[in-house]
Amino acid sequence: MAIIEINSISQIHAAINHEKPRHPLVTVIDFSKVEHKSVGGHKMKIGFYGVMLKNKAAEGKFRYGREYYDFQDGTILFLAPEQVVQFDEDADTDNMEGWGLFFHPDFLRRSSLAEKMKDYSFFSYEANEALHLSDQEKQTLADCIHKIEVELAQNIDVHSQTLILSNIELLLNYCNRYYGRQFITRSHINKDVVSKFERLLTQYFDAEIAKDQGLPSVAHLAAQLNLSPNYLSDLLKRDTGKNAQEHIHYHLIEKAKTLLLNSNGTISEVAYNLGFEYPQYFSKIFKLKTGMTPVEYRGMN
């Protein structure tokens, strides 16, 4: 199936047979006014950011990234540029309600929000990591959307971009807060993920997998848990105070200490056994984490 590239706001309006956008770089689409059947079965690669809220479930599935997702009431999804989305061909979305906020990266270029976008890691989450909102949270975001719509409905002036950007940033900041709430309310699930993550790391180093495959990456470990790297790292940070990379380094250093004190191998041999291609990099990380070089640590113990 060919992928339709949607690189502009006007193109997405045309793709869903919607009226022309009021602004070339940002739009709010009311899903209840869209001819949804026009998108069924098509794969679309989106060249801009999207925030989509579903207020009523759609029958059928929607492919988002690598996974299928069943829409649920009060669920919000985030699309990053170059993400591929697809409705099933037989999806019945005629009764779907909600809104979609879409904004092109060019709209952010000269603003402080452009640099802050990397802080909104949920744009890289998978569909099964979507945000589920309470009625009050939905209303708060709806207020932000309404203010953006009001600005788009007026004649564009020197204040328009600043006000629209401010409300987009406010909406994204609220989403950060709500994800924080979701991590807390799902703490029992998170603790299970943390336990599995720790077991994976322990097995990785104890089984000497690193020696053959190199240091474990966050992406590799996240894939073992069926999570996206950013979601795993954010979950760990909120639950343990350390992100995924910091956990990897902790297990790495603990294993390094054991090898340094229980073997006669050279520092280079220890580094290679831990998965390092360059021993100098191992020594650098070890000193950064312990305050001592591997030689100094071995000498003191």
Instruction: Enter the pTM of the model.
Output: 0.76
CA distance 241 to 122: 18
**84 SS3 class:** strand
Spatial CA neighbour of 161 closest among 47, 23, 28, 52: 23
Structural tokens at position 42: 């098509």
Structural tokens at position 155: 């004649």
Phi, psi (degrees; rounded to nearest 5) at 91: -65, 130
Q: 98 to each of 34, 165, 254, how far by Cα in Å?
A: 11, 21, 50
Q: Which domains does the chain have, with CATH numbers?
A: 3-185 (2.60.120), 188-300 (1.10.10.60)
Q: Give ∠ CA 56-61-65 in degrees, rounded to 5.
A: 110
CA distance 230 to 121: 6
Q: Per-residue b/e over 221-256, b at no fewer than 16 CB within 10 Å?
A: bbeeeebbbbbbbbbbbbebeebbeebbbebbbebb
29 bridge partner residues:
100
pLDDT in tens, the chain (301 residues): 567 888 999 998 988 888 899 999 999 999 888 765 455 556 778 899 999 998 765 444 445 444 544 445 678 989 999 887 766 555 555 566 889 999 999 999 989 999 999 999 999 888 778 899 999 999 999 999 999 999 999 888 888 999 999 999 999 999 999 999 998 888 777 888 999 999 999 999 888 888 889 999 999 999 999 999 999 999 999 889 999 999 999 999 999 999 999 888 899 999 999 999 899 999 999 999 999 999 999 988 6
**189 SS3 class:** helix
CA distance 121 to 125: 7
CA distance 54 to 99: 7
**255 SS3 class:** helix
Q: Which helix (H) or strand (E) holds 3?
A: strand 3-6
Spatial CA neighbour of 117 closest among 53, 178, 171: 171
CA distance 282 to 252: 10
Convert the pLDDT of each residue in 68-118 to its tens digit.
444 456 789 899 998 877 665 555 555 668 899 999 999 999 899 999 999
Q: How far apart are the first and last CA of the chain?
A: 62
How buried is residue 27: exposed, middle or buried, by Cβ count under 10 Å (0-12/13-18/19+)? buried
- Do 129 and 67 meet the contact criterion of CB atoms below 8 Å apart? no
Determine the distance from the C-alpha atom of residue 143 to the mean position of all C-alpha atoms in its chain, rounded to a whole number. 24
